[in-house]
Amino acid sequence: MSIQAGERVPEAVLQYIHDGVQKVDTITLFDGNKTVLFAVPGAFTPTCSERHLPGFVEHHEEFKRRGINVACMAMNDPFVMEAWGESQHVPEGLRMLSDGNGEFTRALGLQMDASAYGMGTRSKRFALYIEDGIVQQAFVEAAGEFRVSSAEHVLANLD
């Protein structure tokens, strides 16, 4: 079962690049602040690169004005996430997080089997609005869709 509003984000360790590979646990990442975590099936893939990440890049300042941190996550390694962020001109403060082995994605119950496309297990496309480690809203896409996890939809539906 996937994570629902009102539930605490599970504990896991994610990675990112900043002067080498760094690790951050989800308690440090989410407790004490407001965050939108959105996830994509894969860096550099068409919808992720043409629509999903660009929407959060475009609206990053609006999230900041509302006091909300933004983080992008995929089951790619941290080097791929860093390169993808650079290619997409991700602004400072929008974190590019790696869940390379998928532990966090599985703990959220938001993994999918993309083996038919040669991609193995990946994250579903989703966005979670998290306050102080508790999911307030979960926007999980149906397979093959991109609607409810967009930056525009998340902004329009924040409490």
Confidence of residue 120 (pLDDT cuts 50, 70, 90): confident
CA distances from 69 to 37, 50, 113, 121, 159 (A): 8, 22, 29, 27, 15
| pLDDT band per the 50, 70, 90 thresholds, residue 117 | confident
C-alpha span between 124 and 92 (Å, rounded): 25
Q: Are 23 and 14 in contact (CB under 8 A)?
A: yes
User: Average pLDDT of the chain?
Assistant: 95
User: Which residue ranges make up each domain of the chain?
Assistant: 13-156
Type of residue numbered 11: E
Checking if the pLDDT of 146 tops 70, the result is: yes
CA 20 to CA 79: how far, in whole Å? 9
The pLDDT of 100-105, averaged and rounded, is 96
* 13-156 CATH, one of 3.20.20.100, 3.40.50.2300, 3.40.30.10, 1.10.10.10: 3.40.30.10
Report pLDDT digits (tens) over 7-20: 999 999 999 999 99
The per-residue b/e assignment along 25-64, b for 16 or more CB within 10 angstroms, e otherwise, is ebeebbbeebbbbbbbbbbebebbbeebbebbbebbeebe
**In sequence order, which ranges of 13-139 are alpha helices (DSSP H)?**
26-30, 46-47, 53-58, 60-65, 78-87, 103-108
Quick: pLDDT tens for 24-81.
999 999 999 999 999 999 999 889 899 999 999 999 999 999 999 999 999 999 999 9
DSSP one-letter code for 110:
-
Q: Which residues are catalytic?
A: 48
Residue 111: pLDDT band (50, 70, 90) is very high
